[in-house]
Amino acid sequence: MSISTRLFDLIRKPSAAADPATAENGLRDGVLQDDQRERLEHDRQILEAPTTVGGDGIQRDAEKQLREAAELSLRRLHVIQRGRCPQCGEHLRQHLFASVCDTCGWHAYDAPRQGGVRVHLTGGGAGEAVLEGERCYLVKEGSLLLLRDDVVVARIQPSVVGWIEYVWPKDELDQRHKEVLDLLTISCGWCEKIADPDSDGFHMVQVAFGANQERYCFCGDDCYEAFRKMYPSRVHRNCYERSCHECDLCVKRYEDEAEGIRTLAKDFLREKRR
């Protein structure tokens, strides 16, 4: 399932005040997870820093090693941005906040910034032990490090770990979705002006004029109604009002519109894999 050519053209079109190169960099970086974006910025700083003239051999060797590591990291991140696994090269399953390779098992995902994690220990029953922290890490030998207030508060053996729960508050999820949408520039399907998804009159509709489902965005009620009058549905009369989830009269290209504007960003990630 990929975004339509028309909508992709609308999304990637920068605003008049935006620098096209900056907007494109933001869209590409938006495919990465939080930790990967931090690494990307760090690697860029290393490679853009001037090479030290003089100095002892240890310092020169260290700088050379840093630059080589940064170049390797950037190559891996570029592969991820193109929708490929950096480990085996197969296609990634990319979501807004997670990337998974179901071929080799490589994965990367965002953890909550506010909610933290809960480590459920084995033992069964309603009284099973639960350890809470801000972040946890699975280290090489298999142990789990649990952090709270920037310090390690527990080192847990893998044999006693039942499962790990990531706590996502609703307000943080909403903020994350907004951050993704801020990377996109959406134009109205009627007047072609910039459409603000947060405005009261914004509409995102999915409609079929032929055999295939299409999707359009509108900046306000007037543009939406003008579009409806100019382009009535050809598949069935109440296509504009009917839920796509309950309809099987056309070939579906997108997920249920009930997910709202978030589906635009999800489809953008699918397009980046092509």
| pLDDT tens digit at each of 274 positions of the chain | 333 333 334 333 444 444 444 444 444 444 577 777 787 888 888 888 877 666 677 888 888 898 888 888 888 888 888 889 999 999 988 888 888 999 999 999 989 988 899 999 987 555 678 999 999 999 988 899 999 999 999 999 999 999 999 999 999 988 887 777 777 778 899 999 988 887 888 888 888 888 888 888 899 999 999 999 998 877 677 788 888 877 888 888 776 555 555 666 666 555 544 4
Say how many domains are in the chain: 3
- Do residue 73 and residue 145 come from a single domain? no
Torsions phi, psi for 123 (to 5 deg):
145, -25
- End residue of a domain, out of 71, 100, 129: 100
Question: pTM score > 0.85 for this model?
Answer: no
Are residue 130 and residue 94 in the same domain, yes or no? Answer: no
- Any domain includes 160: yes
Interacting residues of 226 by C-beta distance below 8 A, sequence separation 6+: 190
In a domain, 176, yes or no: no
- Measured between alpha carbons, how far is 63 from 21 in angstroms, rounded to an integer? 29
CA 96 centroid distance within chain: 3
Residue 21 lies in a domain: no
Q: Do 255 and 226 share a structural domain? A: yes
CA distance 142 to 178: 36
Residue 109 lies in a domain: no
The verdict on 266 and 223 lying in the same domain is: yes
Tokens 């939080």 correspond to what residue? Answer: 34
Domain span at 196: 183-272
158 with 187, same domain: the answer is: no
Q: Is residue 254 part of a domain?
A: yes
